[in-house]
């Protein structure tokens, strides 16, 4: 019996190569590493050291790109090719229409709404088209659900993510952040005025991370949590740079965009990444993420619980990559994984537990702490 094929678009990128390395350890599947740069894809295939992987050169800006990908006959397509704000739905729409499972790692709010529009087509072909198999909304929501098992009791949520400076994300991630800096974004709940990279605050993380700055992230939770947690009164999702001077500098730039004295910052992605290297001595390789949940029960009794992920030794980039790996294994029903039976197009919430996600990082320096 032929092994199912998992095609990873952008498979040699920052997150794609981590997903590929994870899946390559499973002998039940074959891999296709796809992307515009043939040499990079081939190099990763060689590095994986398995005869069950091959490369595929494809430029997604070409009109035949989607057909070329699906000609590989994948059972699952994993899309890591950001920034997703600028991507159309050609690939997930084609996957839905042909009964091919699709998983992306988008943390873009608008992308989630777009993906859901494919629900009817995906259901007809018995495909799962899943958006946001990443730190947000997959991990953030899984932790909320574990800390507060009764959704109607959740009244407040505070999420913060701060990567280690010496293990930076790719240019697509930085471009995504810059794209909404200083621009209006919807509040998670209520109607207060909210702006990208606004609401500057600090959070005290466990050692060795310490205190870090955080600002507003335009993430899918801003539209997903309003219905998932009907009693929600206050919620924030924030992101932060570890090196304070860089975070505060971007905060100042975002304010310039907000008041109209600066243009959008998207074109600064490459310069900012280059400049950040000069601050490497001030940073570390420790990434952190916290989720704090406030609840109120039927007797008006309140409680607050916090869960924190700490990733050391440069393993922080494994965190946003882990949910996609788990989703693929569950879609294929691999040994040791409870199958995902749900079909249609939907965000990656309610289909993974926090424990399932952490299991994917068991070989890395990543730990989870929660108060009791």
Q: What is the pLDDT of residue 272?
A: 86
Q: What is the pLDDT of residue 8?
A: 98
Q: What is the pLDDT of residue 45?
A: 97
Q: What is the pLDDT of residue 138?
A: 98
Alpha-carbon span 7 to 36, nearest angstrom:
14
Q: What is the pLDDT of residue 79?
A: 98
Mean pLDDT of 242-269: 93
**Contact predicate 7/74, CB 8 Å:** yes
Q: What is the pLDDT of residue 2?
A: 84
Q: Give pLDDT tens digits for 105-128.
A: 999 898 988 999 999 999 999 999
Mean pLDDT of 11-39: 97
Q: Residue 1: pLDDT above 80?
A: no
Q: What is the pLDDT of residue 175?
A: 85
Mean pLDDT of 159-175: 87
How many helices, marked H, and strands, marked E, lie in the chain?
A: 13, 14
Q: What is the pLDDT of residue 277?
A: 87
Q: Give pLDDT tens digits for 34-53.
A: 999 999 999 999 999 989 99
- Mean confidence (pLDDT) of the chain: 95
Q: Give pLDDT tens digits for 56-112.
A: 999 999 999 999 999 999 999 999 998 898 899 999 999 999 999 999 999 989 898
Mean pLDDT of 216-225: 95
Q: What is the pLDDT of residue 276?
A: 86
The CA–CA distances, whole Å, from 151 to 80, 111, 156, 183, 229 equal: 30, 24, 11, 30, 5
Residue ranges in the chain assigned as alpha helix (H): 16-24, 38-48, 65-70, 90-98, 109-116, 119-124, 140-147, 171-180, 221-228, 244-258, 269-276, 318-331, 354-359
**Contact predicate 367/354, CB 8 Å:** no
Q: What is the pLDDT of residue 195?
A: 96
Q: What is the pLDDT of residue 172?
A: 80
Per-residue confidence band for 192, with pLDDT thresholds at 50, 70 and 90: confident
Looking up tokens 């913060």 gives 160
Mean pLDDT of 282-293: 97
Alpha-carbon span 188 to 235, nearest angstrom:
6
Q: What is the pLDDT of residue 182?
A: 96
């Amino acid at each position: 019996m032929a092994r199912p094929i998992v095609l990873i678009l952008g498979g040699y990128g920052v997150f794609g190569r981590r997903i590929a390395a994870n899946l390559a350890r499973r002998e039940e599947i074959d891999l296709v590493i796809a992307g515009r740069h043939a040499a990079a894809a081939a190099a990763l295939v060689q590095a994986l050291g398995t005869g069950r992987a091959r490369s595929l050169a494809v430029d997604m800006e070409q009109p035949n790109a989607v057909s070329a990908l699906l000609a590989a006959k994948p059972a699952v397509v994993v899309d890591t090719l950001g920034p997703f704000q600028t991507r159309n739905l050609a690939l997930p729409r084609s996957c839905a229409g042909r009964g091919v499972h699709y998983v992306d790692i988008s943390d873009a709010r608008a992308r989630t709404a777009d993906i859901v529009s494919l629900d009817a087509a995906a259901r007809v072909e018995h495909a799962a088209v899943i958006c946001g198999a990443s730190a947000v909304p997959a991990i953030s929501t899984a932790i909320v659900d574990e800390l507060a098992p009764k959704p109607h009791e959740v009244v407040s949520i505070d999420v913060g993510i701060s990567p280690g400076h010496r293990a930076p994300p790719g240019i697509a991630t930085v471009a995504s952040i810059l794209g909404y800096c200083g621009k209006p974004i919807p509040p998670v709940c209520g109607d207060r005025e909210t702006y990208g990279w606004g609401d500057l605050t600090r959070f005290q993380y466990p050692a060795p991370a310490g205190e870090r700055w955080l600002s507003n992230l335009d993430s899918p939770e801003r539209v997903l949590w309003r219905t998932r947690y009907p009693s929600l009164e206050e919620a924030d999702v924030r992101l932060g740079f570890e090196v304070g001077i860089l975070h505060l500098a971007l905060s100042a730039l975002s304010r310039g965009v907000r008041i109209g004295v600066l243009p959008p910052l998207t074109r600064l992605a490459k310069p900012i990444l280059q400049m950040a290297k000069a601050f490497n001595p001030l940073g570390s390789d420790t990434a952190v993420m916290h989720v704090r949940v406030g609840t109120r029960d039927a007797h008006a009794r309140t409680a607050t619980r916090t869960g924190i992920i700490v990733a050391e030794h440069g393993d922080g980039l494994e965190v946003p990559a882990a949910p996609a790996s788990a989703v693929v294994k569950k879609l294929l029903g691999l040994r040791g994984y409870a199958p995902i039976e749900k079909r249609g197009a939907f965000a990656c919430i309610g289909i993974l537990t926090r424990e399932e996600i952490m299991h994917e990082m068991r070989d890395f320096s990543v730990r989870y702490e929660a108060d009791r």
